[in-house]
Structure 1
Amino acid sequence: MATPSFRHLTIDTLTTWIDADYPLTLVDIRDPMSFAGGHIPGSRHLDNDGVPALLESAPREQPLVVVCYHGHSSQQAAAWLAGQGFAEVYSLDGGFSEWEHRLPERVERGRP
């Protein structure tokens, strides 16, 4: 039996998907203060306490993108989520740090 796996996603591809209103679930696994300080618009904060709600509510057939600080810990989270039945799971290469560096105008501060 094959082990479920995730794929890497570039910032350029994620930007294209967001601009095209491509249906996806975008989760940010950084700590709550970092998330509040800035995050990719449309993302939701995900910590261990929020995992059951995500598993219950997120559409399994739609891409799930995991964001962390630099694109390292998101790989572990993405691999685990791939094993939970999501059809397409991605880890954002470069993480939020690279997103903020390249696209500072596309950072949402706090929660609306």
Structure 2
Amino acid sequence: MITRVRPAQLAEWFATHPAAAQPLVLDVREPWELQTASVRAQGFELKAIPMGEIPARLAELPKDQPIACLCHHGMRSMNVAAFLEQHGFEQLANISGGIDAWSHEVDPQVPRY
């Protein structure tokens, strides 16, 4: 099941999914978007793989860690989370509102675009 979680609730969601390794935020935005605005990894691992590259790079993602998918507003990340679910990933969340909401709720230093 894919949980929808607001950026401000992310740490709480991670805490409900204890894992041996750190939880993962999977940023599925394009490289130019990462250059424009990015989150800082605090209490989680951060991995950037553009949405279009996910199928070819699926082996890079751990099935035993909770994964929260992030994009600009939450649509691409929801599609990626659904794809991961179809491929056996179980601990999934979509960060609703994406990095735009992150800027409002977690870190106003993150530029909006």
Shared fold by TM > 0.5? Answer: yes
2:102 to 90, 99, 103: 99
Q: TM-score, normalised by structure 2?
A: 0.72
1:59 to 62, 74, 77: 62
Deviation at 1:40, TM superposition (A): 1.6
1:49 to 53, 56, 60: 53
Aligned counterparts of 1:52 and 1:96: Cα–Cα separation in 2: 24
3-state SS of paired residue (1:104): coil
3-state SS of paired residue (1:82): helix
Partner of 1:32: 31
Aligned counterparts of 2:84 and 2:74: Cα–Cα separation in 1: 15
Partner of 1:76: 79
Distance 1:51 1:104, change over 3 A: farther
Q: Which runs of 5+ in 2 are unaligned?
A: 16-20
Aligned counterparts of 1:78 and 1:50: Cα–Cα separation in 2: 10
Deviation at 1:15, TM superposition (A): 4.1
Aligned counterparts of 1:50 and 1:77: Cα–Cα separation in 2: 8
3-state SS of paired residue (2:93): strand
Partner of 1:90: 93
Aligned counterparts of 2:74 and 2:108: Cα–Cα separation in 1: 17
Aligned counterparts of 2:61 and 2:75: Cα–Cα separation in 1: 23
Q: Which runs of 5+ in 1 are unaligned?
A: none
1:10 aligns with 2:6: yes
Q: Percent identity?
A: 23
3-state SS of paired residue (2:90): coil
